[in-house]
Chain A
Amino acid sequence: MIHLRSLRKQFGGLVAVNNIDLSIPRGEIYGLIGPNGAGKTTTIRMMCGLLAPTRGQVEIAGIDVTAEPERAQQHIGYLSDFFAVYDDLKVWEYLDYFARAYKMPDADVPKRIREVISEVNLEVKTDSMIAGLSRGMKQRLGIARAIIHKPDVLLLDEPASGLDPKARFELRLLLQKMRDQGATILISSHILTELEGFCTSIGIMERGRLVRSGKIEDVTAADSPARAVDLRWIGQSGASVKQVLLQFPEVSGAELEAGEGHFSFTGSEERLSDLVAALVSAQVRLTSFNEVKTTVEDLYMRLSHHEVM
């Protein structure tokens, strides 16, 4: 659905985006992560046809965005990080303007406005002036604007800034619903917890380059092949438990103290199962044995540490 090929953008002597290749299939929620200045917004603006790439190609729904921006834009819903709405319009008038600007058939417009207003929970404000809405409500209205023309692709740049926790939750539900309906969503953020458990794939941008990209599990697994395991027990000393663990060559970095510790394990599921069995056979009275998943945040901090700072 979204294809970026050797995408590059220069501003004078600065390279803001450097040779990005990316493919996002239909129905994916792709999180684009990176610090301020990494090139996320520039990438999204090129995807929307707002900026011409210096080199490379952006293809959305099979349409070259640079060659046919207006045709491509029919398939794109876009929300920028810092945006404003027309305060002197009513909520329904604002959406009516964009519905007509996207050339929706006149007969479909009122029904579609009701639908999106309901989806962003602004029914009670339909006839209110936008000037009187709270920041969170305006953000929701912005999201309603981005989806008014039923786009196949949603490009959201920091969409949750300004939203309260409830509205963030509702935004997640709305985007998941759109994904279920077949939309492809690219969402950028530097607040990592905002994206985790929500995106199906992620990309990490640093200095204009896409340093990691793929399914969250694949990206985290590729970066840290060893699994981190935490365990707790009662009774035996740390040294005796360590002795059992070190019978397995896949174990490394075991740090065990009285009653608790952690180690790294590079073996398969079966071998991990054997290890648990060995601990039980050695009469280690386990109270907890769990794998600590590498979070996107861990991965991001690690990558940042090595490549940016």
Chain B
Amino acid sequence: MLWKFWQNPEFIRHRRSELRRSRMTTVALVVLFVCALTILACWASETAMRHTFGTPVDYSSGPSIASAAALKSYYPLMLMQFGVLTFWSLLSCTQGISRERERNTWDFQRTTRLAPSELLVGKLLGEPVLAYFIFLCSLPVTLVTGIVGHVPFLKIVLADFVTLIAALFIGVAGLWVSSLFENKSRGIGLIAGLAIYGMFMGSTGLADSPFSGLAGFSPLTTFLPLLGRIPAALRPMLFGGRVPWLLMTVLLYVTFGAWLVLMLVRNLKKDVNEMRLLSHWQAVGCCAFLNFVLYAVLDPTRGNPFSTASDFVSFMVLINGIIFFFLGVAMLSTSERIDPESLLSARAFFSGNGLQWPWLMISAGVSYILLIWGLYMWKDQIGFDRHLIGWGAVSMLIVLVFITRDVLFIQWCKLTRLRSPVVKGVLFLGLYYAGVAVLYSVMDVTSAGAATALADALTPVAAFTYNSALVPTSVVVGIVIQVMATAFLISAIRGRVQKIELLPAVAAGD
């Protein structure tokens, strides 16, 4: 049932509303007209090129005019096909769920027996169904122009394949974004979707970086060389061996797509306020996966931004800090999910309804093990020193302590009556760090040492400024302060949960 998408009720609904006979005829005619115009324009351009001031140029040794014009029109047609399908998928899927919430139709879909996976497939293929129809209409034209233009058939097929998988991946990402936003913040969701689209396409710029494989996220990295317009970048590295870009793109889309699908299937039929993107164990798995991917695609021979192994450690710790933060946010709980017991009893720390901090610790442990493994595997290129084992642990600990504090602060915000608590929590944290930065610059005027000590104590900057496990006292003091702040936040969360438990009945909005 799941794979027979043409029988999926959600897909059928979209097909019926978007592809009525009259609209299909109009769209097909418009597409064919645009294709014809493009081909004619290219033919005219080619013909003009072969005549200089009205005198025919001898092209007898080159391709025929039909072949050259077909090849010339093949590129814009393929690009148009690619642009329409990927961009339309993004726009429609980014609004797929939030628009249903806005129309008050989402609840009815949630009360049907459609499984989340069925809803997902129906929306993924149904929301941009008109774009797929446009793609189908233009496909014979691009095939013919490609064949007449002597483009290898396999390249044409692979270019279409890349277009399709890119549209599917972007669609899944769009639905994921859409599921996070309530109807009132649909516009923000759309902006987020556009930002993600820009990031996907722009990731092609990573092709010359040490993580060149991540350029495979951009379908352009694979698609444009298949058209023959630009030479393919040097093949990316995967586990130390060179692999084709197409394989890299497929691997990235399948693995990252699987995580997005997991988050969607877990939450699609839940109320937006009750969503928790990942379970605790899944978050640990996700952290390990993201680290694993980074080490798998690492190619220290390119770009070489790491002058020393310490630089590499600092970079990986920074990346892990970002990962911890997002995983912590993905594990945020509602008040009813938090088990007050888990805040008190050591045994219950790791319960499914506990707070995030034990799981962030496990994630940090996994990240640290992978860091040491990565350093060891690439020791010839990056260099390896025993002191990095200690320094890696200390810098990871510093980042973990600060991120745990920040995540618990956002968790506390979520238990209050703040509207958009996550956004406000992040803004408050931004204010805190901005305040510390200003204080640092003020103190730096009189005493650079005191300013550094302040930064060490109140921000995780020490994780990137030293390269020895023997850190100054200010760093230790900073860790102690943050651990105390974390304990205070846990206590505040506990108080909040217990207060809610004891609240008398008061009128709440229906």
Task: Mark A residues whose CB is within 8 Å of B.
Answer: 10-16, 18, 36-42, 45, 48-55, 69-70, 73-74, 76, 78, 80, 82-86, 88-90, 93, 96-98, 100-103, 145, 207-209
Instruction: Decide if B12 touches A39 in the complex (CB within 8 Å).
Output: no
- Which of under 10, 10 to 19, 20 to 34, or 35 or more describes the interface residues of B? 35 or more
Known contacts A13-B503, A14-B506; is-contact A78 B17 (Cβ 8 Å):
no
Shortest C-beta distance, B498 to chain A (Å), equals 12
Instruction: Decide if A101 touches B9 in the complex (CB within 8 Å).
Output: yes
* Chain B residues in 8 Å Cβ range of A54: 335-336
* Alpha-carbon distance A298/B28, docked complex (angstroms): 65
Instruction: Decide if B500 touches A13 in the complex (CB within 8 Å).
Output: yes
Shortest C-beta distance, A41 to chain B (Å), equals 4
Instruction: Decide if B113 touches A103 in the complex (CB within 8 Å).
Output: yes
Using A73-B111, A86-B17 as known contacts, list a sample of 9 further A-B pairs with CB atoms less than 8 Å apart, ordered by residue number in A.
A13-B416, A13-B503, A14-B507, A37-B508, A54-B336, A76-B111, A89-B16, A101-B109, A209-B505
Instruction: Decide if A10 touches B113 in the complex (CB within 8 Å).
Output: no
**CB under 8 Å from chain A, chain B span 198-228:** none
Is residue B381 contacting chain A, with contact meaning CB distance below 8 A?
no
* Chain B residues in 8 Å Cβ range of A42: 508, 510
Instruction: Decide if A82 touches B111 in the complex (CB within 8 Å).
Output: no
Instruction: Decide if A89 touches B17 in the complex (CB within 8 Å).
Output: yes
Segment with Cβ contacts to A, from B99-107, B258-266, B429-437, B460-468: B99-107
Residue of B nearest to A42 (CB): B510
* Alpha-carbon distance A73/B504, docked complex (angstroms): 31
* Alpha-carbon distance A35/B42, docked complex (angstroms): 69
Shortest C-beta distance, B334 to chain A (Å), equals 9
Q: Which of B10, B113, B115, B271 is packed against the most chain A CB atoms within 10 Å? A: B113
Instruction: Decide if B509 touches A37 in the complex (CB within 8 Å).
Output: yes
Is residue B274 contacting chain A, with contact meaning CB distance below 8 A?
yes
* Alpha-carbon distance A96/B103, docked complex (angstroms): 20
Known contacts A50-B107, A83-B105; is-contact A73 B113 (Cβ 8 Å):
yes
Is residue B50 contacting chain A, with contact meaning CB distance below 8 A?
no
Instruction: Decide if A82 touches B17 in the complex (CB within 8 Å).
Output: no
Q: Which of A12, A15, A53 is packed against the most chain B CB atoms within 10 Å? A: A12
Instruction: Decide if A86 touches B500 in the complex (CB within 8 Å).
Output: no
**Residues 4-17 of chain B, each 1 if its beta carbon lies under 8 Å from chain A, else 0:** 00000110110011
Shortest C-beta distance, A88 to chain B (Å), equals 4
Shortest C-beta distance, A19 to chain B (Å), equals 8
Is residue B302 contacting chain A, with contact meaning CB distance below 8 A?
no
Instruction: Decide if A69 touches B508 in the complex (CB within 8 Å).
Output: no
The 4 closest A-B pairs by CB, nearest first: A16-B508, A18-B505, A101-B112, A14-B508
* Chain A residues in 8 Å Cβ range of B13: 86, 89, 93, 97
Q: Which of B16, B417, B504, B507 is packed against the most chain A CB atoms within 10 Å? A: B507
* Chain A residues in 8 Å Cβ range of B510: 16, 36-42
* Chain A residues in 8 Å Cβ range of B507: 14, 37-39, 207-208
**CB under 8 Å from chain A, chain B span 267-289:** 269-271, 273-274
Residue of B nearest to A79 (CB): B108
Instruction: Decide if A83 touches B509 in the complex (CB within 8 Å).
Output: no
Known contacts A12-B335, A37-B508, A51-B271; is-contact A86 B105 (Cβ 8 Å):
yes
* Alpha-carbon distance A207/B110, docked complex (angstroms): 27
Known contacts A10-B500, A69-B269; is-contact A15 B104 (Cβ 8 Å):
no
Is residue B499 contacting chain A, with contact meaning CB distance below 8 A?
yes
Q: Which of A36, A83, A208 contacts B108 (CB 8 A)?
A: A83
Instruction: Decide if B12 touches A100 in the complex (CB within 8 Å).
Output: yes
Instruction: Decide if A101 touches B16 in the complex (CB within 8 Å).
Output: no
Instruction: Decide if B335 touches A14 in the complex (CB within 8 Å).
Output: no
Known contacts A37-B508, A84-B104, A86-B13; is-contact A10 B271 (Cβ 8 Å):
no
* Alpha-carbon distance A260/B487, docked complex (angstroms): 76
* Alpha-carbon distance A90/B510, docked complex (angstroms): 32
* Chain B residues in 8 Å Cβ range of A13: 416-417, 499-500, 503
Shortest C-beta distance, A91 to chain B (Å), equals 12
* Alpha-carbon distance A40/B10, docked complex (angstroms): 30
* Chain B residues in 8 Å Cβ range of A102: 112-113
* Alpha-carbon distance A88/B103, docked complex (angstroms): 13
Is residue B114 contacting chain A, with contact meaning CB distance below 8 A?
yes
**Residues 89-125 of chain B, each 1 if its beta carbon lies under 8 Å from chain A, else 0:** 0000000000000011101111111110000000000
* Chain B residues in 8 Å Cβ range of A103: 113
Is residue B483 contacting chain A, with contact meaning CB distance below 8 A?
no
Is residue B196 contacting chain A, with contact meaning CB distance below 8 A?
no
* Alpha-carbon distance A76/B110, docked complex (angstroms): 12
* Chain A residues in 8 Å Cβ range of B84: none
23 contacts between A and B (CB under 8 A): A11-B508, A11-B509, A13-B416, A13-B500, A13-B503, A14-B417, A14-B503, A14-B508, A14-B509, A15-B506, A51-B274, A52-B336, A69-B269, A78-B107, A78-B111, A83-B105, A84-B105, A86-B13, A86-B105, A93-B16, A100-B9, A101-B10, A209-B505
Residue of B nearest to A74 (CB): B113
Shortest C-beta distance, A306 to chain B (Å), equals 16
* Chain B residues in 8 Å Cβ range of A36: 510
* Chain B residues in 8 Å Cβ range of A97: 9-10, 12-13
Is residue B477 contacting chain A, with contact meaning CB distance below 8 A?
no
* Alpha-carbon distance A182/B289, docked complex (angstroms): 53
Is residue B24 contacting chain A, with contact meaning CB distance below 8 A?
no
Instruction: Decide if B336 touches A98 in the complex (CB within 8 Å).
Output: no
Instruction: Decide if A50 touches B508 in the complex (CB within 8 Å).
Output: no
* Alpha-carbon distance A12/B412, docked complex (angstroms): 11
* Alpha-carbon distance A208/B507, docked complex (angstroms): 6
Is residue B389 contacting chain A, with contact meaning CB distance below 8 A?
no
Known contacts A55-B336, A97-B9, A101-B109; is-contact A16 B509 (Cβ 8 Å):
yes
Instruction: Decide if A15 touches B111 in the complex (CB within 8 Å).
Output: no
* Chain B residues in 8 Å Cβ range of A85: 105
* Alpha-carbon distance A101/B335, docked complex (angstroms): 32
Instruction: Decide if B111 touches A50 in the complex (CB within 8 Å).
Output: yes
Instruction: Decide if A15 touches B271 in the complex (CB within 8 Å).
Output: no
* Chain A residues in 8 Å Cβ range of B107: 45, 48, 50, 78, 80, 83
Q: Which of A18, A45, A84, A208 contacts B103 (CB 8 A)?
A: A84
* Alpha-carbon distance A10/B504, docked complex (angstroms): 11
**Residues 478-510 of chain B, each 1 if its beta carbon lies under 8 Å from chain A, else 0:** 000000000000000000000110011111111
Instruction: Decide if B17 touches A50 in the complex (CB within 8 Å).
Output: no
Shortest C-beta distance, A132 to chain B (Å), equals 14
Residue of B nearest to A207 (CB): B507
Is residue B426 contacting chain A, with contact meaning CB distance below 8 A?
no
* Alpha-carbon distance A37/B9, docked complex (angstroms): 35
* Alpha-carbon distance A77/B339, docked complex (angstroms): 33
* Chain B residues in 8 Å Cβ range of A50: 107, 110-111, 271
* Chain A residues in 8 Å Cβ range of B111: 48-50, 73, 76, 78
Shortest C-beta distance, A260 to chain B (Å), equals 42
* Chain A residues in 8 Å Cβ range of B115: 70
Instruction: Decide if B112 touches A98 in the complex (CB within 8 Å).
Output: yes
Instruction: Decide if B508 touches A15 in the complex (CB within 8 Å).
Output: yes
* Chain A residues in 8 Å Cβ range of B114: 101
* Chain A residues in 8 Å Cβ range of B499: 13
* Chain A residues in 8 Å Cβ range of B503: 10, 13-15
Q: Which of B109, B273, B274, B504 contacts A15 (CB 8 A)?
A: B504
* Chain B residues in 8 Å Cβ range of A90: 16
